[in-house]
Structure 1
Amino acid sequence: MARKYSKGASKKVEGAMKKRKKGTLRSGRSGKKVKSRKQAIAIGLSEARRSGKKVPKKKTGKKGGRKKSKRKSSKK
């Protein structure tokens, strides 16, 4: 079976994790220090995507939380 992520992508994630442990990893827009493991992985993957490594596309969240019920028309 083929690899989902390239070796280069895993190196980027590894580097982001090391930066997080060291305390030098910062988020993009706000520049705040990254504390969570998941956020560090996401930063590493986005860097790998930008540099053209083999990384699957981002999963997008589902729109809306509740399904709209169909209205019954009461025309006579």
Structure 2
Amino acid sequence: MAKYSKSAQKKVAKVMREKKAGTLKSGRSGKKVTSRKQAIAIGLSEARRAGAKVPKKGAKKTAKKGAKKSARKGAKKTAKKSRK
């Protein structure tokens, strides 16, 4: 899991409280936010704008990226061979 700074954690906690109270609004449309994931994303983007330590958008930890790729390629090749 990604590591966030204390200030980023505080921002997300504040936004989650707003969501629970029903006062959290989406940026452009101004609609009420009901999704937990969307609330977290709003909190992280606010923290990012404030200069807190937050990983880049869409960044995920993949330690064994090469191993997974080669395993998938092998599975695809065997599937193609079995069809012939």
Counterpart in the other structure of 1:59: 58
- Bigger helix share: 2
Counterpart in the other structure of 2:8: 9
Give the TM-score normalised by structure 1: 0.73
What is the percentage of aligned positions where both structures have the same residue? 72
The Cα offsets for residues 4-32 of structure 1, whole Å up to 9 and x where unpaired, read as 21000000000000000000000000000
The Cα offsets for residues 31-64 of structure 1, whole Å up to 9 and x where unpaired, read as 000001000000000000000000000017xxxx
**Aligned pair 1:35/2:31, yes or no?**
no
SS in 2 for 1:50: helix
Give the TM-score normalised by structure 2: 0.66
RMSD after superposition: 1.4
Letter aligned with residue 18 of structure 1: R
Runs of 4+ displaced beyond 6 Å: none
How far apart, in 2, do the equivalents of 1:38 and 1:49 lie?
16
Q: How many residues were matched structurally? A: 58
